[in-house]
């Protein structure tokens, strides 16, 4: 199983504590927030690696890259620019992960299965929320707290093999949305569908040890 710690650091720091779409649209407050969280998340996930000079150097370089990425994103706001940098970020994270796999497996307090579980949880919630903003399902300034909560629950229950809780979550969220909003939205269907399908895919990938 691949210890995707650097990819987890990027996903959490870039998506979990700031609106990625607003970073791209040159919102200084969101950029500052993204940089601050990048440093804090890197340190919290890697503090036990910092006693080793290889770990210290790697974490420092990767954190500097994430900060630079947040600043570079401000220069343009387009789907092509967004996709280009996400691919670059993925490549850089893997470039750090693969050579350091042995160090991460032997030194990091976060075990590979837990890292990949947290990575899946981050992707299915806040990363997909940003994708929904990018494709216009929700506005760039809008939060997706209902959808994030729903997809997190679905991920947890799918990974635990709890079918009835999956169905109960979907039914409960549909009822909640109806009582609160009354007006139907495509997100009522899109969010649980993405939550279930992605969670099943992630479960399969982890079971097969392909991530």
Q: Between helices 112-122 and 187-207, what is the axis angle to 10°?
A: 160
Each residue's pLDDT tens digit, 9-26: 999 988 887 777 777 777
128 is a domain residue: no
pLDDT band at 82 (very low <50, low <70, confident <90, very high): confident
19 is a domain residue: yes
Quote the pTM value: 0.91
199 is a domain residue: no
172 is a domain residue: no
Distance CA 47, CA 60 (A): 11
36 is a domain residue: yes
183 is a domain residue: no
174 is a domain residue: no
3-class DSSP string for 5-65:
HHHHHHHHHHHHCCCHHHHHCCCHHHHHHHHHHHHHHHHHHHHHHCCCHHHHHHHHHHHHH
Note down the domain range covering 72: 1-110
Extract the tokens encoding 167: 């169905």
Domain count of the fold of the chain:
1
Answer yes or no: is pLDDT of 141 > 80: no
Number of Cβ within 10 Å of residue 209's Cβ equals 11
66 is a domain residue: yes
């Amino acid at each position: 199983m691949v210890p995707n710690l650097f990819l987890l650091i990027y996903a959490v720091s870039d998506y979990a504590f700031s609106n990625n779409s607003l970073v791209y649209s040159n919102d200084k407050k969101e950029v500052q927030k993204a940089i601050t969280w990048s440093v804090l998340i890197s340190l919290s996930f890697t503090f036990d690696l910092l006693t080793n000079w290889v770990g210290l150097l790697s974490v420092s370089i990767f954190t500097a890259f994430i900060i630079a990425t947040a600043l570079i994103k401000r220069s343009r706001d387009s789907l092509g620019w967004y996709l280009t940098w996400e691919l670059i970020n993925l490549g850089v994270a893997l470039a750090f992960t693969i050579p350091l796999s042995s160090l991460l497996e032997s030194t990091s307090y976060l075990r590979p299965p837990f890292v990949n579980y947290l990575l899946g949880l981050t992707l299915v919630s806040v990363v997909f929320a940003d994708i929904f903003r990018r494709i216009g399902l929700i506005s760039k300034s809008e939060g997706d707290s209902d959808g994030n909560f729903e997809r997190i629950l679905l991920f947890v229950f799918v990974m635990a093999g709890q079918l009835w809780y999956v169905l109960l979550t979907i039914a409960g969220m549909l009822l909640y949305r109806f009582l609160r909003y009354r007006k139907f939205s495509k997100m009522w269907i899109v969010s649980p569908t993405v939550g279930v399908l992605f969670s099943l895919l992630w479960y399969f990938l982890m079971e097969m040890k392909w991530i």
